[in-house]
Structure formats: structure tokens, C-alpha cells
Amino acid sequence: MQANTFKVRVDSIRDEAHGIRSFRITRVDGQPFDSYEAGAHIDVTAPSGITRQYSLCSDPALNDSQLFAVKRERESRGGSRSLHDDVGIGSELLVGQPRNLFRLVKDAHAHVLIGAGIGITPLLSMAYQLAANSQRFVLHYFARSEAHAAFLPVLSQEPFSGNVQFHFGIGSDDLAASLRGCLAGTARGTHVYTCGPAPFMDEVVAVGEATSTIAEVHLERFGADTAVSETGTALDEFDVKVLGSGKIVHVGKGETIVSALANIGIEIDTSCGEGVCGTCMVDVVEGDPEHRDHCLSKAERASNKVICCCVSRSRSPLLVLDV
């Protein structure tokens, strides 16, 4: 769990779409929230005791409250189900500070946001930020039907109405053509941001990478079962050297870097423990990590300068980490 957590109160609850409910929260101590950039997510501990990560979908310029939305998952192990069933107005929840692995690129020429279903949540926050800064953007929202599309009233009004295009009922056979249409005519150097089910995002990446005007496709993955990670060449056992103290700890087969470091008194903050949230990310000074997370960008993986210690391992006998 993240070290820095605090209590919030649920001030309003709204059914945004079929199976999607939003929760507006304020701090119990009456303080404003710390500022955050669009694309950030928070840890939320449900009454069941289960902690999950949810993107903030509020306007990042407003810090008196925060908004997150939750899709009731059929396979829920108590996270989304408990938030839907056990939380009412006035309920108190434990949340963490915002963390962000899905930021807008500041000097991008233009931005295209492409979301599906509950994947609209970080993109809505991005749309607020882009509109406030008068930056060029289009938001494409794919949903099974109007009834499955969250935040329709907000997205249909100013300042978004001129920038949002809805795509309802597009089947998987037609998705690639639809996405090509979304990216046709984009300016050179456009950045694409996508969030939604894994096969949807895979298609956005494939179409984006085949479109010459697109500089990069950025994605937000939640749910370890749906993501792709590197596999295969990591060593069963390796050593980790702590940059500051020079201490070396052995990471055995089946052990994580987090637990090995805990054995020598170094606590790494964790949240999901599955490589999806980025809470346990630390800087790599030396060595060749094998990334088994689901949250680093392609560029971050290629640079080998950061590692998620809860799941990733090493291809070199020694990793030197800045912890």
C-alpha cells in the first residue's frame, strides 16, 4: 500500500452508464486535494478492504473535490463490487495521492484521445486540461451503445462538444477501419492517448503505428490479465545493489525485488503488486532489467532506466537501483 493515504468522504454518486458509477469525494479533514496532472490515478480502498487503482476524471484545475468512476466487473474479487454495493453518500474511504504514468506530452502539436467504455475516465480529465489550455485535440469515444457511454451529458456540452466524436456499436471487424478514419488527416507530430479494453488498445496501437503522422501512442492499462509483458530471458536469481548504501541483496527464484529489499530494511511503496499501477517504480542505475509490468511506456522500457520492483526481474547478474 502507498504510504501516503488519507480519508475522504463520498459527496455524490451518479450512475453514468450501464454498470458504471461515479463517486465525487472530498477530504474528511476539509483540506483541498494536492494538484495533479490529467491522466493521474489514485488508489481507492473499498469497504471490502481491497485496494484498486482508478483514474481521476475530474477537472485537474479544481482541487476541492475529486471524481473517479468504477465499472462493476463481473469477475470482481471485491473491489468494484464493494464500491458499487457498499458505498453510499457520506461513506468514508481511504485513498492515496495521485500518481501519473499517462501524462499529456507538453510540446505536442496536436492530441487525439481514443477511449472505449470505462476507458473514458483518464481521457475526460485530459480533455478538461487541453480545453483549459486552448490546445488542439479530438476525443473519440467508442461504446457499445449510448446506454454504455459514461459522461455523455458532460461530453455533449461546451467546452467539449466541438471536440468529441462518438462511435457506438462498432464491431471488432470494423474497428481498424474506424480508427484509421479517426487518425486520417491528423497533423504530423500528433500524439495519441488511449484507454480501454486490451484488444481495443492493441488495435489503436497498431493503427497509430501504421499512420505516418502519429508521433507516439500512449496507453493506460489497468488489469494485469489483459496486458503484455516481456518474458523469457530473465535470470532465475540475481543480485540487487542499493546505490546509496552499497548494500547487496540476493533475489532468489520466486522472490520479488520488493521482498528481497524488505529483508535488508528497505521498504518500497507498493499498491497493486501486479505491475499495473507504477507505485513501486524506481530508477535503474546499472544492469539489464526484464520488464514484467504492464504500466511502463515503450520508451521507458527501451531506456531501461526504471523498473517496477513488484514483478520485474533481471537479465544481468547485478542490478544497481537508486533506492
Closest CA to 219 of 147, 160, 149, 301: 301
- Cell digits for 290? 526484464
Question: Binding to ligand FES by residue 310, rule CB under 6 A?
Answer: yes
Residue number, 155 or 307, with CB nearest to ligand FES:
307
Identify which of residues 101 and 127 has a Cβ nearer to ligand FES in the complex.
Answer: 101
Indicate the residue among 150 and 310 with the shorter CB distance to ligand FES. Answer: 310
Q: At which residue does the C-alpha cell 497493486 appear? A: 272
Pick the piece of the chain touching ligand FES (CB under 6 A) from 67-75, 231-239, 272-280, 313-321.
272-280
- Count of residues near ligand FES by CB under 6 A: 14
Instruction: Give yes or no for residue 271 binding ligand FES (CB under 6 A).
Output: yes
Binding mask 231-270 for ligand FES (x = CB under 6 A): ---------------------------------------x
Choice from 308, 319, 320, 321 touching ligand FES (CB under 6 A): 308
Stretch that binds ligand FES, among 34-42, 182-190, 237-245, 273-281 (CB under 6 A): 273-281
Which of 277/321 has CB closer to ligand FES? 277
Sign of the C-alpha dihedral computed for residues 210, 211, 215 and 221 taken in this order: negative
Contact call for residue 223 and ligand FES (CB under 6 A): no
Q: What is the dihedral of CA 129, 116, 165, 156, to 10 degrees?
A: -70
Taking the chain, what is the end-to-end CA distance rounded to the nearest angstrom?
A: 17
* Residue closer to ligand FES (CB basis): 114 or 272: 272
* Min CB(36)–ligand FES separation in Å: 18
Q: Which of 58, 219, 220 is nearest to 125 (CA)?
A: 58
Q: 163: which DSSP letter?
A: G
Asked if residue 43 binds ligand FES (CB under 6 A), the reply is: no
Q: Which is nearer to ligand FES, 139 or 276 (CB)?
A: 276
| DSSP state string for 306-322 | EEETTT-EESSSEEEEE
Strand boundaries in the chain, DSSP class E: 5-17, 20-27, 41-45, 51-55, 66-71, 92-96, 111-116, 137-143, 164-168, 190-195, 214-220, 238-242, 248-251, 281-286, 289-290, 306-308, 313-314, 318-322
Answer yes or no whether residue 278 interacts with ligand FES by CB under 6 A: yes
Supply 244's cell numbers.
Answer: 546509496
Name the residue nearer to ligand FES (CB basis): 138 or 277.
277
Position 279 contacts ligand FES (CB under 6 A): yes
Q: How far is the CB of 65 from ligand FES (least distance, A)?
A: 25
Q: C-beta of 309: minimal distance to ligand FES in Å? A: 7
What is the DSSP code string of 190-259? EEEEEES-HHHHHHHHHHHHT-TTEEEEEEE---GGG-----S---SSEEEEETTT--EEEE-TT--HHH
Query: From the CB of 296, what's the least distance to ligand FES, in Å?
Result: 9
Contacts of 251 (CB under 8 A, 6+ apart): 237, 238, 239, 240, 257, 260, 313, 314
By C-beta, is 192 or 219 nearer to ligand FES? 219
By CB under 6 A, is residue 224 in contact with ligand FES? no
The answer to the question of residue 296 lying near ligand FES (CB under 6 A) is no
Give the interface with ligand FES as residue ranges (CB under 6 A).
270-273, 275-280, 293, 295, 308, 310
